[in-house]
Structures are given as structure tokens and as C-alpha cells.
């Protein structure tokens, strides 16, 4: 039985989907005004692994991850750029898809955009206003009345009286209570807007996810996930408005990925330690970055540093070394093994990917031992196990030579390296060993490691 840590109850619980054998999961996606950063990569990869594992365990998963394509930040950035907001969002969505593809993140089953759900958002707001849970203010905005929902704060464990006491209210706002939040924002002059019963405007951020998730997955669904910064107020507000609008429990299990720190400090632009996914992928192979993210439990805090990325590269290289020069046995010829059972055991415990990585290294050690013993058939079977378990984590699906020879922006291209290796072979044939050693040293200085065997010379980037 899979056990998942539920942020709502703050404990691990046996996972029992609403409909046996099926999982309905919604994860808050990106607000597309800029390139995705490392924190986004953390969430993308974490819930990609969770989806892969649930499917590995036989569940029919319907995974929905939204896109917020209308928002204050989007409009502000588009204005700064002097471009139409939709041109900005389309460009950033394309970039997001490129980044996630490089990281091996599978596409969600549905990727709803806020601007395609305006009618559904308005209908949900209308329900809330009609039932007394929301009100139209004098300034044209519509607010959710937080005090109308007695359970407000049940996810974040915050008390409403403390929130009200500590709130700062802009003098321009027309809220009845400082804790109330906007469902509909009246349009400013020249701003993109849609018609509504309360005048021209656009949706608030929180209501978008409630409308999209319930439309795609129903009033109640199994899992809702997101980054650590979304727990409050975004997810808290989603619960309040959704349960008031539908009259049903919104979500059974709440999951939140851990935060990213950079050299033990919070990642932020003001500290100058803020990295986009594409900046990182310019320096490191995508699978190394994914391995780095997967090697920590999804709820744990991850510390990004040059040393930690280098270590991830070294340990992933060990796994690929075990697969190098071997053709894995056919999947049908390799039934479930003890490694498979151990993998399931650790992953069933709240998706413990750190434990799963340890299982992969155990399989790699087994392959190496079989090869030292000259037992190639058993090595091939173990290699098949390593590849299939790696696939659940989105790892080890490349040809090993492609991994070792991937161009990571080094001084030499693959063609130049192959040319130098041939020159070294010619020098050795002519018994010019000094020249052969010089070429090997030159390659080593440029991060190219040669491996000589009876079959010839292979190379990899160090």
C-alpha cells in the first residue's frame, strides 16, 4: 500500500483513491511571464516522478497541470517589453515546454490555460456571490468573504484572527475584512478584460485553479500538488472558495515539494543566486540535473551548488558505466526480482526517491560483479532491471555512449575528439609512444577521458 504525506493532516496516510485503480491529480503550474527557474524544475520533476511511479504501480493517472496566462506580473512584463500579453505568454509557454522536455518531464494529460476558462471562472464566482460567500465591492472588484468559511486555515494551520490582526490593507481596497481576497478584478484603462456581471475585468489568481481543477477532475479529486510557496495563501484560498462553491470536500491529499536553496541560502534575485533552468542546462547535462533533483526526497529542501551538481554527475556516471558495452536482456525475459520489490518498498513510502536511487546503485554493483565473473547473461538480465527501474525515475534511458559523449560546451567537438583518438592510434601503431601519450594528456587536460580495451578506445567527457 502506498503511503503519502498529506500536508492537510501533517502525517503519512495510506493512499486510497476515490475511484479504485484511478488517480485524479492536479498540480499548480507556471505563471508564464518569464523563463522557468530551478524551483519550477523541482516541482516539474517531483510530480513527474510521482506520476510515473503511480502508473508503474498500475494506476490509471489523469494528471492535470495548469498554466496561468493572465496575471498582474504578466501584464506588467508585457508592458515593460512593449508587446501584447498573449505574445509574451505564448513565447514563455514554448520555452517552458522546451525546458521540461530536456529534463525528461512527460507532458501532463491536460494543460488548461486560465484564459480558456473565463466562463467557468465567472460561473463559480457567481455561485459564491449568490450563496453569500463573496461580494461585489464599490471599486468593481469581487472578493471572497473569508469569515464565511469556518474552516479557513485548516491547510496552513493559520488562525483567521491572527491573519486579520496582522494584515495590511491598501487604502484603495474596498474589502470588508483584511483577509478577504479578490476573485474578480475590475479592469484598469487599456488593460485586457472580459465582460462579467460585475463589469469588465479579469479573474483573480486563486479562483483560476479552483475553476480549472474542478472542471477537469470533478468537485472532489485525489491529489493536489505544488511548490512550497503555494501552501498559503494560494492553496488555502482554493480550498475555501472551492468547498463553498461546490458544497463538497475539495481534495483528499495535499502534496508540496521542498524548497530550493543555493549554497545554503534562499534562492532570490536580490541575492544574485537565482538561476533559470536554461542557464543551468547550459552548464550541465539535463539528465545530471534531473538526477540531482531526484536523488533527494521530494519534500526535502534541496541545496543547489556547483559541488552538489558535480557529485550528481559522478554518481550518475557510475550507473551508466555499469550499462556501457552491454545489451540488456529483453524485458519479457526478466521477471520481477528482489531489486524490483525493494524499489517498490521504498517508493511506496511517500515516494522515497533517495532510497530508490540506492536500489539502482545496488543493481549496478551486481552488473559489475557479474561481468568480473564473466557471467554476461546474468549481467544482461540485471542491466534490463536497471533500465526499467531507472525509467520510473526518468533516468538511464540514453544509450551510454550518447551520455558519455554528450556535448556540454567543452573545447572539443565529438569530431575533433575522434580525430585526435585516431591520431593517437596511428602514433601507437608507428611505435611513437611519446606522441601517443602527448595526445592522451592533451585530451585529459580538456576533460576527455580515454578507456582502452581489446575492442578499441572509447571516450567520455569527464
The pLDDT of residue 347 is above 60: yes
Residues 6+ apart with CB under 8 A from 241: 124, 128, 133, 134, 144, 183, 206, 207, 210
> Percentage of the chain surpassing pLDDT 90?
81
Q: At 313, which CATH number?
A: 1.20.120.640
Same domain, 158 and 284: no
Residues 246 and 283 in one domain: no
The domain boundary, picked from 202, 229, 257, lies at 257
Asked if residues 201 and 185 have their Cβ atoms less than 8 Å apart, the reply is yes
Residues 371 and 419 in one domain: no
Average pLDDT of the residues in 51-68: 98
In the 8-state DSSP scheme, what is residue 332? G
The single-letter DSSP state of residue 301 is -
Based on the domain organization, do 181 and 33 belong to the same domain?
yes
Res. 94: pLDDT tops 90: yes
SS3 letters across 307-330: HHHHHHHHHHHHHHHHHCCCCCCC
Mean pLDDT confidence for 108-122: 98
pLDDT at 142: 98
pLDDT class for 409, splitting at 50, 70, 90?
Answer: low
Distance of alpha carbon 131 from alpha carbon 405, whole angstroms: 63
Per-residue pLDDT reduced to its tens digit, 120-166 = 999 999 999 999 999 999 999 999 999 999 999 999 999 988 887 76
- Read off the pLDDT band of 170 (50, 70, 90): low
* Element at 60 (helix H, strand E): strand 60-68
Annotated binding residues for ATP: 269
Q: How many CB atoms lie within 10 A of CB 330?
A: 10
Determine the pLDDT at residue 154: 97
Same domain? For 397 and 421 the reply is no
Same domain, 163 and 304: no
Given a cut of 90, whether residue 265 has pLDDT beyond it is no
State pLDDT tens for residues 302-339.
999 999 999 999 999 999 999 999 999 998 899 999 99
Residue 454 has pLDDT above 90, yes or no: no
Indicate if the pLDDT at residue 268 is higher than 80: no
User: CA distances (Å), 265 to each of 88, 164, 260, 374, in order?
Assistant: 31, 30, 9, 49
**Residues 178, 273 within the same domain:** no
**Which of 257, 290, 321 finishes a domain?**
257
Sign, CA dihedral 210-214-220-225, equals negative
293 with 174, same domain? Answer: no
Q: How many domains, the chain?
A: 3
The average pLDDT across 215-220 equals: 98
Last residue within a domain, chosen from 404, 432, 447: 404
Per-residue confidence at 171, pLDDT binned at 50, 70, 90?
A: very low
Residue 253 and residue 271 share a domain = no
Say what the pLDDT of residue 410 is: 61
CA separation for the pair 28, 380 (Å, rounded): 41
| pTM for this predicted structure | 0.90
Of 65, 68, 64, nearest in space to 31 by CA: 68
Tell me the C-alpha distance between 61 and 447, whole Å.
Answer: 43
Same domain flag for 74 and 209: yes
Please check the confidence at residue 263 and state whether its pLDDT lies above 90.
Answer: no
Helix (H, G, I), strand (E, B) or coil at 154: coil
Each residue's pLDDT tens digit, 285-304: 999 999 999 999 999 999 99
Range of the domain at 444: 407-461
400 vs 436: which has the higher pLDDT: 400
Please provide residue 68's backbone torsions phi and psi, each rounded to the nearest 5 degrees: -90, 110
Cell numbers representing residue 149 in the block: 468559511
Q: What average pLDDT does the chain have?
A: 93
Pairing status of strand 456-461 against strand 448-453: antiparallel
Mean pLDDT of 369-375: 96
Which residues make up each annotated binding site for Zn(2+)? 28, 209, 234, 238
Do 163 and 209 share a domain, yes or no?
yes
Instruction: Mark the binding-site residues, compressed into ranges.
Output: 28, 209, 234, 238, 269
- Is the Cβ–Cβ distance between 128 and 144 less than 8 Å? yes
Same-domain status, 64 and 149: yes
Amino acid at each position: 500500500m502506498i503511503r503519502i504525506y498529506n500536508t492537510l493532516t501533517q502525517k503519512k496516510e495510506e493512499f486510497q483513491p476515490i475511484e479504485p485503480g484511478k488517480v485524479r491529480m492536479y498540480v499548480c503550474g507556471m505563471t508564464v511571464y518569464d523563463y522557468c527557474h530551478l524551483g519550477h524544475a523541482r516541482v516539474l520533476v517531483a510530480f513527474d516522478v510521482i506520476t510515473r511511479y503511480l502508473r508503474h504501480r498500475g494506476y490509471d493517472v489523469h494528471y492535470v497541470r495548469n498554466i496561468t496566462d493572465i496575471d498582474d506580473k504578466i501584464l506588467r512584463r508585457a508592458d515593460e517589453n512593449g508587446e501584447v500579453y498573449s505574445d509574451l505568454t505564448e513565447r514563455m509557454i514554448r520555452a517552458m515546454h522546451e525546458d521540461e522536455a530536456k529534463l525528461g518531464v512527460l507532458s501532463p494529460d491536460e494543460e488548461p490555460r486560465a484564459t480558456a476558462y473565463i466562463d467557468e471562472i465567472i460561473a463559480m464566482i457567481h455561485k459564491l456571490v449568490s450563496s453569500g460567500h463573496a461580494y461585489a465591492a464599490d471599486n468593481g472588484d469581487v472578493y471572497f468573504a473569508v469569515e464565511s468559511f469556518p474552516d479557513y486555515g485548516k491547510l496552513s494551520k493559520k488562525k483567521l484572527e491572527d491573519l486579520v490582526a496582522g494584515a495590511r490593507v491598501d487604502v484603495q481596497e474596498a474589502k470588508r475584512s483584511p483577509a478577504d481576497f479578490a476573485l474578480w478584478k475590475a479592469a484598469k484603462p487599456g488593460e485586457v478584460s472580459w465582460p462579467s456581471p460585475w463589469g469588465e475585468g479579469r479573474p483573480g489568481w486563486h479562483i483560476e485553479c479552483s475553476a480549472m481543477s474542478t472542471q477537469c477532475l470533478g468537485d472532489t479529486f485525489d491529489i493536489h500538488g505544488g511548490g512550497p510557496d503555494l501552501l498559503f495563501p494560494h492553496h488555502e484560498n482554493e480550498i475555501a472558495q472551492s468547498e463553498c462553491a461546490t458544497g463538497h470536500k475539495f481534495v483528499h491529499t495535499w502534496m508540496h515539494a521542498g524548497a530550493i536553496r543555493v549554497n545554503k541560502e534562499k534562492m532570490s534575485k536580490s541575492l544574485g543566486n537565482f538561476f533559470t533552468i536554461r542557464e543551468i542546462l547550459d552548464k550541465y547535462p539535463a539528465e545530471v540535473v534531473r538526477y540531482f533533483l531526484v536523488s533527494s526526497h521530494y519534500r526535502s529542501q534541496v541545496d543547489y551548488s556547483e559541488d552538489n551538481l558535480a557529485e550528481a554527475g559522478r554518481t550518475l556516471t557510475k550507473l551508466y558505466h555499469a550499462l556501457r558495452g552491454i545489451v540488456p536482456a529483453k524485458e519479457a525475459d526478466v521477471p520481477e526480482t528482489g531489486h524490483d520489490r525493494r524499489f517498490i518498498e521504498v517508493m511506496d513510502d511517500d515516494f522515497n526517491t533517495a532510497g530508490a536511487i540506492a536500489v539502482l546503485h545496488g543493481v549496478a554493483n551486481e552488473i559489475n560483479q557479474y561481468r568480473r565473473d564473466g557471467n554476461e547473461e546474468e549481467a544482461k538480465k540485471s542491466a534490463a532491471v536497471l533500465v526499467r527501474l531507472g525509467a520510473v525515475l526518468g533516468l538511464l534511458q540514453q544509450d551510454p555512449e550518447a551520455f558519455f559523449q554528450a556535448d556540454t560546451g567543452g573545447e572539443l567537438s565529438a569530431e575533433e575528439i575522434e580525430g585526435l583518438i585516431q591520431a593517437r592510434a596511428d602514433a601507437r601503431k608507428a611505435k611513437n609512444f611519446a606522441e601517443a601519450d602527448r595526445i592522451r594528456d592533451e585530451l585529459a587536460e580538456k576533460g576527455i577521458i580515454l578507456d582502452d580495451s581489446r575492442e578499441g578506445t572509447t571516450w567520455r567527457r569527464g
